[in-house]
Chains A and B, each alone.
Chain A
Amino acid sequence: MIQEVFDVIVTTLRMVVGITLIMAVFLLVSMALSFLYGLYSKGRGMTKGYTSLKTVTFGDESAVTANRFASVAAVVTIFLLWCIATGSSLIPTVLPPPFVGETEFEYTARNANGETDTATVLVQVYGSDAERPDEPEALPPGDGFARNDFVQIVERRTKVLKVQNNDEGGKEDGYEVIEINGTPVTRETVVPFAKGEIYVTKQGSLSVRPSTGLTMEALYLPPPEKVWSSFITLNKEGYQGVGLWENVFWSLIRVVIGFSLGCLFGIPLGFAMGLNSWLRGWFDPIVEFMRPVPPLALIPLVIIWFGIGEQGKISLLFLAALWIMTIAARAGVSGVNISKVHAAYSLGATRRQLLTKVILPNSLPEIFTGARVAMGVCWGTVVAAELVAAEKGAGKMIIAASKFSLTDIVIIGIIIIGVIGYGIDVLMRKAENKLVPWKGRG
């Protein structure tokens, strides 16, 4: 236990170092670009307008607006870092890529009789997504007891080459590889060669490791062009028999239905709680208990109750949206300025008219805020629910792809999920501006 906690602390500290490094790189780029932008905008006389006349801007919230140039530059920077890290073909090489191609080295062996002989090893390294190349025909054996060898290796991988296997007397005691490319070696040492390094194993074999370069392997992060081409294929053929947009459509339809049900029941419930003491007391413990339970924690129960079909997922999203909408509607009713209610009654409104003409419109801003939160939560929940159990859906697509290490599909899925989540929020904000223009201006 103590050991485990200690390990967590060590891991955390290492993460702090890692995060600091990444942030530092990103911020350095940002600062450099900011400096250049400053020169550019000053040169063009772009710093005009009222804000430029303010002498106090540090701490003045109204003087700080998002610099759209910086936003674009940040996205481009991330894209470029992605290209650099993966050795993308879209940009010139920055980091050395892993070695692919042919190379060779020489080794010198001594046999049991104390004679020495030198032979050549031809190393053929091929790309991980390329076909295995044909072996060269009938390698000349060379003279002496040490025979020439040939090895084929996938890029970034290591292969153990038993040069003694085809050498005369290689199996006898006393046989030993003593030099590589003229450098004397013993067992368990590493020597570099032209395009990588060789480790002489405990058993005296040669473990050949071609240079891995500094770029990331596609298994962890594929380069953008590979993700793009996968996207084209995915768009055309789908994945596991389900089209890309069909997956997205199913996720969206679940969210829309679940969210709508949540609104349909949550808003009246919130109104009831805001208008009646008995009903507020009646529902209070339920709402207050259910609100802090994350919808994801309900997934196991929902699967036990409803199975993995649509009903389960929609129920889950309904529950995710319900409490948020209830609380938003309740807050909306509670937030009605008592003067407005008094005014409406003094002007002759009935209770029903008060509800529809005053309380409902007055709580719309709160309901919209709740709806935005609920939509965000629903979108997150549907993806998570699909990760656990689904036949179709964006979450299902990425979890299935991850099981086959199809990182490109996983990344496409994540990008689409992010873009749609953002799109939903933008739409909700647009609707809010259109429908409750008085929000925050009372």
Chain B
Amino acid sequence: MTGLVIDDVSMTFELPNGGNVEALKNINLQINEGELLSVLGPSGCGKTTLLNILAGFLAPTSGTMAMNGHAITGPHSERGMVFQQGALFEWMNVAKNIGFGPKMKGTPQAEIDAKVTELLGIVGLQDFAEKMIYEMSGGMQQRVALARCLANDPDVILMDEPLGALDALTREKMQSLVLDIWKKTGKTIILITHSVEEALLLGERLLVMAPRPGRVHKEYRLPFAEMGVGADLREVKRHPDFGPKRDEILSMIWDMEEEIMGRTESA
């Protein structure tokens, strides 16, 4: 069985005051190879927890996950991760950051160099190989993070709000880059985001999660990612189906937020 299988995963955190929080409850998911999945939901719906479990940083309280037929028990280079910020190594230059994964595996330096050069081209940083991380803008840093993840040739790329801290223009360029990479490499990508537009643009498949307990609320199949490959994303947003979908999901999330607020107030 290829792809990722999530079988009845639940995650319960114990609070210091003795209570429990059900961050995730009975999640069942099957993610196929090459799928571009975006996950959306209000804060506290457990989407980051789900990603951390998939990456192997957390073990669920119950349930199992399998990747290409074998169980996930910890972090592994088959599942690469792109973080929001601060995960690059400041003491290395761009090229060394990108080549970190292969280097850890003992890949010959010549091979690493070739790989790094190729990836620098893909993310558009040809002239920045020798630059230090702290000399680069936030958008460029996220390009490096993407390239570093790709250098390891993972089967799945997990993205934890990688574009959340970028300004609107940079963000749009990076969204195109993610689509390009998805198309070029055929990797499975799971992207967590706060932005409804981003989820629509970067999800063949879109999961809307709901909080307390964290669960999958609704699932969509969307055409926009396929349209966006190599195209102007602003065109895609003008598509007649885009606006209504966005409004539908937005009001869904609004309702959830209001429900949470109401519950907190009555409590």
Binding site for B on A (CB under 8 A): 337, 339-340, 342-350, 353, 357-358, 361-362, 364, 436-438, 441-442
- Taking a contact as CB atoms closer than 8 A, the residue among A339, A348, A350, A357 that contacts B86 in the complex is A339
Tell me whether B57 and A349 are in contact (CB under 8 A). no
> Can you name 7 extra interface pairs (CB under 8 A) apart from A339-B85, A347-B148, A362-B89?
A339-B84, A342-B57, A343-B148, A346-B55, A348-B76, A350-B104, A442-B86
Query: Which chain B positions have C-beta within 8 A of A353?
Result: 104
User: Are the CB atoms of A340 and B77 closer together than 8 Å?
Assistant: no
How far, in angstroms, from A362 to B88 measured CA to CA in the complex? Answer: 11
Q: Which residue of B lies closest to A354 (CB)?
A: B104
Complex Cα distance, B91 from A436, in Å, reads 7
Pair A441/B87 contact, Cβ less than 8 Å: no
> Which residues of chain A are within 8 angstroms of B77 by Cβ–Cβ distance?
346-348
Complex CA gap A350/B74 in Å reads: 12
Which residue in chain B gives the minimum CB-CB distance to A438?
A: B90
Name the residue in A343, A364, A436, A442 with the highest tally of chain B Cβ atoms < 10 Å from its Cβ: A343
Residues facing A in B99-145 (CB within 8 A) are 100-101, 104-105, 132-134
Partner pick for A345 among B75, B86, B91, B148, CB 8 A cutoff: B75
Complex alpha-carbon distance, A386 and B88, angstroms = 48
Q: Assess A343 versus B152: contact at CB under 8 Å? Given A348-B76, A350-B104, A353-B104.
A: no
Q: When chains A and B are docked, how far (Å) is the Cα of A441 from the Cα of B86? A: 11
| B81 is an interface residue with CB less than 8 A from chain A | yes
Docked complex Cα distance between A360 and B76 (Å): 22
**Do B91 and A339 touch across chains, with their CB atoms under 8 A apart?**
no
A343→B132 contact, CB < 8 A: no
The yes or no answer to B214 lying at the interface (CB within 8 A) is: no
Cα A441 to Cα B148 with chains together (Å):
21
B205 part of interface (Cβ distance < 8 Å): no
Residues of chain B touching chain A, judged by Cβ–Cβ distance below 8 Å, are: 55-57, 74-77, 79-81, 83-91, 100-101, 104-105, 132-134, 148-149, 152, 154
Q: Closest CB of chain A to B59's CB: distance in Å?
A: 14
Cβ of B91 and Cβ of A362 under 8 Å apart? yes
Residues of B within 8 A of A350 (CB): 104
Does B87 contact A343, Cβ atoms closer than 8 Å? yes
**Which 8 pairs of residues, A with B, have the shortest CB-CB distance?**
A348-B77, A339-B87, A347-B101, A438-B90, A345-B75, A441-B134, A361-B91, A343-B87
Contacts of B74 in A (CB 8 A): 345
The closest CB in chain A to the CB of B75 belongs to A345
B101: chain A residues at CB < 8 Å are: 347-348
Residue among B83, B90, B148 making CB contact with A342, cutoff 8 Å: B83
- A347 touches which of B56, B100, B133 (Cβ 8 Å): B100
Q: How far is the CA of A350 from the CA of B75 in the complex (A)?
A: 11
CB pair B152 A339 closer than 8 Å: no
Contact A347 B90 (CB under 8 A): no
Chain A residues with CB under 8 A of B83? 339, 342-343
Task: From A340, A348, A436, A437, give the contact of B87 (CB < 8 A).
Answer: A340
Closest to B82 in A: A343
A-B contacts, 19 listed (Cβ < 8 Å): A337-B86, A339-B83, A339-B84, A342-B55, A342-B57, A346-B55, A346-B75, A346-B76, A346-B77, A346-B149, A347-B80, A347-B101, A347-B104, A348-B105, A349-B100, A362-B89, A437-B134, A438-B134, A442-B86
Q: How far is the CA of A204 from the CA of B74 in the complex (A)?
A: 103
Instruction: Give, as a whole number of angstroms, the nearest-CB distance from A357 to chain B.
Output: 8
Bound: A345/B83 CA distance, A: 13
Q: Which residues of A contact B152 (CB under 8 A)?
A: 347-348
B89 & A441 in contact (Cβ 8 Å cutoff): no
Which residues of A lie under 8 Å from residue B154 when comparing CB positions? 346
Contact A438 B81 (CB under 8 A): no
B84 to chain A, nearest CB (A): 8
What chain B residues lie within 8 Å of A337 (beta carbons)?
86-87
- Which of A348, A358, A361, A436 has the largest count of B CB atoms less than 10 A from its CB? A348
User: Contacts A348-B76, A362-B91, A364-B91 hold; do A438 and B86 have CB atoms under 8 A apart?
Assistant: no
A343 in contact with B134 given A348-B105, A442-B90 (CB within 8 Å)? no
Are the CB atoms of A346 and B133 closer together than 8 Å? Answer: no
Whether A442 contacts B134 in the complex (CB less than 8 A), given A347-B77, A349-B104, A361-B89, comes out as yes
A353 to B74, CA, bound (A): 17
Chain A nearest CB: distance from B114 CB in Å?
Answer: 18
Give Cα distance in the complex from A438 to B100, angstroms: 18
Taking CB atoms, residues of chain A closer than 8 Å to B105 are 348
CA distance A339 to B90 in the complex (A): 13
Residue ID in chain A nearest B134 by CB atoms: A441
Question: Whole-angstrom distance between the alpha carbons of A350 and B80 in the complex?
Answer: 15
Greatest chain B CB density within 10 A among A345, A346, A442 is at A346
Q: How far is the CA of A342 from the CA of B76 in the complex (A)?
A: 10
Rounded to whole Å, the gap between the CB of B206 and the closest CB of chain A is 24
